[in-house]
C-alpha cells in the first residue's frame, strides 16, 4: 500500500517506462493510473453536486444516490479504458503520440497484454452496468432511468470511435457533462422531471462545462498530432486560433452562469460565489489561451505536451471543490434562515 503514490496519481499523470516498477505498484495505484484518476475524480464531484442539489430541494435518497455516483464513476473509468484500447488498436497511440508522452499508457508501454486490459475493463464495466440495473429496479424502471441508461450504454463504445474522429466527441462531452449528468441524477432522485429543470441544467453546466473545457483544451493541445493520425476532432476542424477562442468562451461561461444563478434567478445564495476564489486560475488559463501553443516544452514544464489542458484541470478541480462548499453553505443558510435569498 503506497498512499504517497495514490495521492500523486490523483494529482497528476504518473510517468514510468520500466515494467518492473509498474509491476511493483499495488492494485489501487494501477487502477488510479490506468483509469486516469486525475480526471475521473471530477465525475465523483458531479455526483456530489447532484446529490447536494437534491438534498437542498428535499429529494435526496442516500442509497440510489450512492449507487448512481459509483455507477457514473465506473462508467467513466471504463470509457477511459475503451478509449485507450481503441486508439491503441487503431495505431493512434503509437510512435510517441500525445497520450503516451505525459503519463503511463499500459498498452503502449507494454505493461499490459490485451487480456490484462480486458480484465480491468470488465471489472469497471460490469460494476457500472450493475449499478445501472440496480437503479432501474429500485425506481421501478423509471422512464428517466431507462433513457439515461440507454444513453450511457450507447456512448460508451461510440465516443472513442467514430464520434471523436468525426468532430462530434467534444459536443458529446459538453452535452453529457453540461446538460445531462447532474440534471439526470437530480431528476432520478426527484422521481420526475422537475419544474425548475432549466435552472438545474444551468447549475450542472456551471461545473460540467469546466470539465468540457479541460477536454477541449486537451484536444487543442494535440491538434497537430491528431492531424497526422487522421483524428478529425472539432478543434482540428476549426484550427487552433478559433479553437482557443472557443475554449476561452467555455471557461468564462461557468462564471457567468454562477452570477446568473445567484443574482438573477436567485437559485443559489451568494455563498456559491466562493467559486470566484478559483478565478485567478481561470484568468491564467485565459491568458494562456490567448497565445499560440509553443512548439516545444518550456524549461521546467514537466507535463508536456499538456500545455492548455494541465492548467484547466487544476482550475476545474479548484472550481468544483469551491462549488461544492458553496452549495453546502447555501443549504445550511436555508435551513437556519428560511426564505433566505429567495
The 10s digit of each residue's pLDDT in 275-297 is: 999 999 999 999 999 999 998 88
Q: Per-residue pLDDT averaged across 39-58, rounded?
A: 96
The domain segmentation of the chain, as residue ranges, is: 15-336
Query: Percentage of residues in the chain with pLDDT exceeding 70?
Result: 99
Mean pLDDT rounded to a whole number for the chain: 92
| Cα 33 to Cα 309: distance, rounded to the nearest angstrom | 18
pLDDT band (50, 70, 90) for residue 176: confident
Give the relative orientation of helices 37-56 and 181-190 as an angle to the nearest 10 degrees. Answer: 40
* pLDDT given at position 138: 93
CB–CB of 122/31 below 8 Å? no
| Residue of higher predicted confidence among 124 and 99 | 124
Lowest-confidence region among 86-100, 108-122, 191-205: 86-100
Q: What is the pLDDT of residues 65-85, one digit of tens each?
A: 999 999 999 999 999 999 899
pLDDT band (50, 70, 90) for residue 338: confident
| Cα 50 to Cα 295: distance, rounded to the nearest angstrom | 40
Residue 164 pLDDT > 90: no
pLDDT band (50, 70, 90) for residue 125: very high
* pLDDT given at position 76: 94
* pLDDT given at position 213: 94
C-alpha 135, offset from chain centre: 22
Q: What is the pLDDT of residues 224-253, one digit of tens each?
A: 988 988 888 999 999 999 999 999 999 999
- Long-range (24+ apart) CB contacts under 8 A made by 266-271 are 266/341, 266/342, 267/196, 267/199, 267/202, 267/203, 268/203, 268/326, 268/327, 268/330, 268/341, 269/329, 269/330, 269/333, 269/334, 269/340, 269/341, 270/341, 271/326, 271/327, 271/329, 271/330, 271/333
Q: Per-residue pLDDT averaged across 244-267, rounded?
A: 97
Residue 96 pLDDT > 70: no
pLDDT band (50, 70, 90) for residue 157: confident
Residue 187 pLDDT > 70: yes
Amino acid at each position: 500500500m503506497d498512499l504517497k503514490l495514490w495521492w500523486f496519481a490523483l494529482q497528476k499523470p504518473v510517468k514510468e517506462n520500466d515494467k518492473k516498477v509498474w509491476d511493483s505498484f499495488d492494485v489501487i495505484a494501477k487502477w488510479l493510473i490506468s483509469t486516469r484518476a486525475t480526471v475521473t475524480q471530477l465525475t465523483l464531484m458531479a455526483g456530489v453536486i447532484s446529490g447536494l442539489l437534491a438534498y437542498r430541494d428535499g429529494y435526496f435518497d442516500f442509497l440510489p444516490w450512492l449507487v448512481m455516483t459509483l455507477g457514473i464513476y465506473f462508467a467513466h473509468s471504463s470509457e477511459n479504458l475503451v478509449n485507450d484500447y481503441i486508439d491503441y488498436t487503431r495505431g493512434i497511440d503509437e510512435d510517441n503520440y500525445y497520450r503516451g508522452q505525459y503519463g503511463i499508457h499500459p498498452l503502449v508501454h507494454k505493461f499490459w497484454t490485451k487480456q490484462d486490459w480486458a480484465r480491468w475493463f470488465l471489472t469497471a464495466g460490469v460494476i457500472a452496468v450493475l449499478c445501472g440495473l440496480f437503479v432501474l429496479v429500485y425506481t421501478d424502471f423509471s422512464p428517466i432511468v431507462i433513457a439515461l441508461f440507454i444513453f450511457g450504454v450507447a456512448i460508451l463504445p461510440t465516443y472513442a470511435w467514430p464520434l471523436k474522429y468525426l468532430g462530434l466527441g467534444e459536443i458529446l462531452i459538453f452535452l453529457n457533462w453540461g446538460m445531462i449528468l447532474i440534471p439526470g441524477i437530480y431528476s432520478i432522485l426527484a422521481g420526475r422531471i422537475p419544474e425548475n429543470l432549466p435552472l438545474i441544467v444551468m447549475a450542472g453546466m456551471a461545473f460540467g462545462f469546466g470539465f468540457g473545457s479541460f477536454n477541449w483544451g486537451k484536444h487543442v493541445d494535440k491538434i497537430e498530432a491528431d492531424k497526422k493520425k487522421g483524428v478529425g476532432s472539432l478543434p482540428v476542424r476549426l484550427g487552433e486560433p478559433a479553437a482557443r477562442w472557443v475554449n476561452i468562451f467555455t471557461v468564462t461561461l461557468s462564471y457567468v452562469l454562477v452570477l446568473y444563478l445567484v443574482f438573477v434567478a436567485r437559485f443559489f445564495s451568494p455563498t456559491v460565489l466562493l467559486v470566484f476564489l478559483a478565478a485567478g486560475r481561470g484568468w491564467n488559463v485565459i491568458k494562456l489561451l490567448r497565445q499560440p501553443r509553443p512548439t516545444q516544452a518550456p524549461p521546467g514544464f514537466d507535463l508536456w505536451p499538456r500545455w492548455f489542458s494541465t492548467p484547466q484541470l487544476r482550475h476545474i478541480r479548484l472550481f468544483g471543490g469551491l462549488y461544492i462548499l458553496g452549495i453546502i453553505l447555501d443549504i445550511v443558510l436555508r435551513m437556519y434562515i428560511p426564505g433566505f435569498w429567495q
